[in-house]
Amino acid sequence: MNYLITGGCGFIGCNFIRRLFAEDADVHVTNIDKLTYAGSEENLADIAATAADRYRFIKADIGDATTVEEIIAGGKFDILINFAAESHVDRSITSPADFVSANIVGTANLLQSAREHEIPRYVQISTDEVYGSLGDTGYFTEETPIAPSSPYSASKASADLLVLAAFHTYGQDVVVTRCSNNYGPYQFPEKLIPLMITKALAGEKLPVYGDGQNVRDWIHVDDHCAGIAIAAATGKPGEVYNFGGNNEHKNLDLVKALLKSLGKSNDLIEFVKDRPGHDQRYAIDASKARNELGWIPTWNFEAGLQQTVDWYRSRVE
């Protein structure tokens, strides 16, 4: 298989590429990444060194239609998987235009060139944040109406709609995946878990928004990548698949668990002003992926969290 991956130097993208090379001795990957602050070639340095004949990196911006067209026209790809995205909610509040360019315009460029050059399948990696916020009960399903609350989630919802419209308008073979909060190795330390780990290791205060009662459903990045691989291979064209870990935790409880794992005091917790439009709760119903794709998450949350703590600690201490 010849993959075109966008955003492959970021957290989920690099873990997915690592999975491809671990499982398929014949896989070929072209990785397009803009290398913003959250992406690093170092995340795949070992792949670049050991599989140089099957891995190619191109520094490029998917928001540039001409560049996207040149790359896709110059290759023969079996599948395009779009991980590339600006993804930090806080940054989207202060710089929404960056999110429009990467997440909406970039997706439109990829879709058009993929269609014109007949790439057999396009997979869009999205987020449960497009659904908005839940109350104390219930779960997001693929039928839940989208109701984004931030510029980030609005840009991802817009991209999803472009992808699904390509299926209905042009008959383009597309699949959309939406996932709950990921954790694991290689995540840039602006997101909750790596931020709290790195600050705790440095003995710094851990900023917790509001009262810390916001609830998130957590999934190990390996389980998410397994789901993407199955959806890419066997998902039905024009369908959306949700992936979640059934691991709901209040932010404050999660931070306390991290501190305990690190042998640090809860006194490091510092409550800060809540961010605008902060969704209260996310929770995914992944039964469609289980029933139609045969996907089952394998990581125990406590074990996965400890693995994540150990990974970051090994790079700091």
Q: Which residues are catalytic?
A: 128-129, 152
- End-to-end CA distance of the chain: give it in Å, rounded: 39
CB atoms within 10 A of CB 260: 11
Which is nearest to 116 in space by CA: 72, 65, 163, 177?
72
Burial 45-83 (b: 16+ CB within 10 A, else e): eebeeebeebbebbebbbbebebbeebbeeeebebbbbb
Q: What is the largest CA-CA distance in the chain?
A: 57
CA dist 5 and 301 (Å) reads 28
Whether the CB-CB separation of 212 and 248 falls below 8 Å is answered with no
Could you tell me how many helices (H) and strands (E) the chain has, helices first?
A: 12, 12
φ/ψ (deg, to 5) at 166: -65, -35
Contact at 8 Å (CB) between 279 and 140? no
**Within 180-220, where are the H helices?**
192-201
Q: Other C-beta atoms within 10 Å of 253: how many?
A: 13
Q: Structure tokens of 6?
A: 């966008």
Two tokens, residue 254: 């999660």
* Residue 78 contacts residue 3 (beta carbons within 8 Å): yes
Q: Are 119 and 80 in contact (CB under 8 A)?
A: yes
Cα–Cα distance, 286 to 219 (Å, whole number): 11
DSSP 8-state code for residue 10: S
